[in-house]
Amino acid sequence: MNRHASVNVRWTLLAASAAGLLAAGGAATYVVLRTAAVSPGPSGGAETAAVSPPQADHAGHALPATPSPRAPLADVAVSVSPEAVERAGIAVARVGAGAGAAAGLRLPAVVEPNAYRQVAVTPLVSGRVTRVLVELGAQVGRGDAMARIFSPELADAQARDASASAALAAHEQELRRTEKLVEIGAASREELERVRAEHATRTAEAASARSRLELLGAAPGPVHAEAVVTAPIDGVVTERLANAGLNVDASSKLFTVVDLSTVWVVANVYERDFPRVRVGSPATVTMAAYPDMSIAGRVSYIDPQVDAQTRTARLRVEVENPGERLRLGMYADVAIGAAAVEGAADAAPVIPRSAVQTVGDRQVVYLADPAQPGRFTQREVQLGAVSGSQVEVRSGVQAGDAVVAEGSFYLRAERERLGLGAEAAHAAGSSGGSS
């Protein structure tokens, strides 16, 4: 046999082998599918899917099948010895009456200054700063001197006021003298009218010069060129931009003074939580820096505009700040009470998140039997909102129940080991494995 004939034979054998494998695979697939379709269930009959039988419309077209409503898991009792309870570290906690997420919202926040009590200090005159009298962080009272400014503008205004006042005083004497001359016939009425008109002009000029001086924050007196910048409110100097030698005008900001007797605690609330809070809702502010302190307040403002990126709106709580312990920029937590939310329902019970175990796609907890130590009941629960280490329970438990907060995983493992409630657990796990 030549080389070409040998190659043809090999290709023929490979093709035959591939065809045989494909045929065997198809037969095996048919057997598996056929077996799955008619495999007997627990009762010996053919097992059917947990959906309603397919329906058809008037034209005979099949409609999609709809899942049957699932039944809740039955309670399962698990008993363990006192030694096992101690070894597993099982700890029991009472179900709270809405002390966590269901009581409202808990939002991270930041302390900000009360913008209505924050003032930018600017000079009333232009000139050059000659002296700064306060430091950053200093406490100032209203009217306290903060800086001194050499101002030619102020000196000019004072000179104009003094000149106008002197000219007015001299013209008043001329007016009185003219009036006496008219009385004795030594001056005409026309002369008196001219003097009165000039007097009115002098009076207006003096009033204008005095007003200008008052606008510059100076009082009538000797001419000098030094202006004093004073604090407009009681507060703390949180910003200092002035230094000696700085040239300023009336729009230059020299300091920022903030009254810290009240502050704003600002948080961001997601749009999904808007129905749970409104202006006037009671709020409690706590801080990690002061664990023993909580400050009561109320929501005073909710931004009507939602941030396009974060889908949140700014929420503001104004609180008192005794002793000025709250510092600007501090982190805080804001708890918004549900009792003041218009139309809010009663708060749901809350439990520790560590108490929840997952069986299939169900959530369960273990309740301690107060009459029989070491006996626990597995019960399915419906959970709600989560807040920190707490989660609200919409059904399954009520306030005052004793729930296993630590060691619940051991009870779940013990229930599985003993095969308790196996049928219910299998039904729950048919749509997903235990976690």
Domain of 421, CATH number, reads 2.40.420.20
Measure the CA dihedral 38/39/45/51, to 10°: -70
Residue 357 located in a structural domain: yes
Closest CA to 129 of 242, 41, 271: 242
Residue 56 located in a structural domain: no
Amino acid at 17: S
Most confident of 132-136, 167-171, 219-223, 284-288: 132-136
Q: Are residues 307 and 291 in the same domain?
A: yes
Query: For position 239, what pLDDT does the model report?
Result: 95
Amino acid at 148: R
Closest CA to 333 of 279, 260, 265: 265
Residue 60 located in a structural domain: no
Say how many C-beta atoms besides its own lie within 10 A of residue 365's C-beta.
26
For residue 110, give its domain range.
103-114+260-340
Segment 362-374 mean pLDDT: 92
Strands of the sheet containing 118-121, edge to edge, are 118-121, 255-258, 235-240, 139-140
Rounded to 5 degrees, φ, ψ at 18 are: -60, -40
Which residue bears the tokens 């030549």? 2
One DSSP character per residue, 198-217 reads: HHHHHHHHHHHHHHHHHHTT
Percent of the chain with pLDDT over 90: 43
- Here the CATH number for the domain that contains residue 140 is 1.10.287.470
Give the count of domains, the chain: 4
Segment 203-230 mean pLDDT: 85
Q: Which helix (H) or strand (E) holds 15?
A: helix 3-38
Query: For position 394, what pLDDT does the model report?
Result: 87
Residue 71 located in a structural domain: no
Q: Are residues 108 and 147 in the same domain?
A: no
Residue 235 located in a structural domain: yes
Calpha distance 279→272 (Å, rounded): 16
Q: SS3 for 261-303, per residue?
A: CEEEEEEEEEHHHHHHCCCCCEEEEEECCEEEEEEEEEEEEEC
Q: What tokens were used for 158?
A: 């004072």
Q: Are 148 and 192 in contact (CB under 8 A)?
A: no
Q: Are residues 89 and 136 in the same domain?
A: no
- Residue 243 predicted with pLDDT over 60: yes
- Residue 263 predicted with pLDDT over 70: yes
Residue 66 located in a structural domain: no
Q: Are 317 and 295 in contact (CB under 8 A)?
A: no
Rounded to 5 degrees, φ, ψ at 28 are: -65, -40
Q: Are residues 130 and 219 in the same domain?
A: yes
Residue 119 located in a structural domain: no
Chain centroid to CA 409: how far?
35
Calpha distance 233→119 (Å, rounded): 8
- Per residue in 141-196, pLDDT (tens digit) is 999 999 999 998 888 888 888 888 888 998 899 899 998 888 888 888 899 899 99
Q: What tokens were used for 91?
A: 């700890």
Most confident of 34-38, 107-111, 347-351: 107-111
Q: Are residues 236 and 130 in the same domain?
A: yes
Q: Are residues 248 and 357 in the same domain?
A: no
Q: Are 320 and 293 in contact (CB under 8 A)?
A: no
DSSP 188: -
Q: Do you know the residue count of the chain?
A: 435
Mark which of 254, 284, 306 sits at the end of a domain. Answer: 254
Calpha distance 266→202 (Å, rounded): 57
Residue 61 located in a structural domain: no
Q: Are residues 316 and 353 in the same domain?
A: no
Q: Are residues 290 and 213 in the same domain?
A: no
Calpha distance 72→333 (Å, rounded): 37
Segment 255-282 mean pLDDT: 92
Q: Are residues 248 and 175 in the same domain?
A: yes
